[in-house]
A = this chain, B = another copy of it.
């Protein structure tokens, strides 16, 4: 279906909320799992699981114990969507062979490895162009359209079937 997993979806939502509530000085506010779960209206265990993995991967800093929680560890301008996806569900690899060699059985006979790498490269690139900061700016619907980096020039429609 070419979807991100829900974990990734939720994870980026959480990161956006956290980045959005950081103070202007850029200092990172601490939020605990329960508070975040309430805010995004998701079950606590789910949110908890995601935050744990974000902390493990170094995107968030965790603060244990009473009054603990999580805070961003990176500047929202420098954290890209590509990075968030990588951390939450592994490297962006649209096919087996796109990422690293030796995964796909057909690798030798198949002439498609380079084409797939091309596709993968283009998508990855697009995702590296968007930062967490861009996302919170895009919260305004109008901004979302205007800030679109590339102006689409729609290619030919399919002949329909």
Q: Which residues in A have some Cβ–Cβ distance to B below 8 Å? A: 1-5, 8-9, 12-13, 16, 40-42, 55-59, 73-74, 78-83, 85, 87, 89-90, 92-96, 106, 109-119, 121-123, 125-131, 134-136, 138-141, 143-144, 147-150, 152, 154-156, 158-161
Contacts and interface: CB of A to CB of B under 8 A. Distances in A.
Q: Determine how many copies of this chain the complex contains.
A: 2
Contact of A114 (B74, B81, B144, B152): B144
B127 A150 contact: no
A83 B121 contact: no
Contacts of A152: 121, 125, 128
Contacts of A90: 1-2
- 4 smallest beta-carbon distances between A and B, as pairs: A58-B161, A114-B144, A115-B135, A126-B126
Nearest to A154: B128
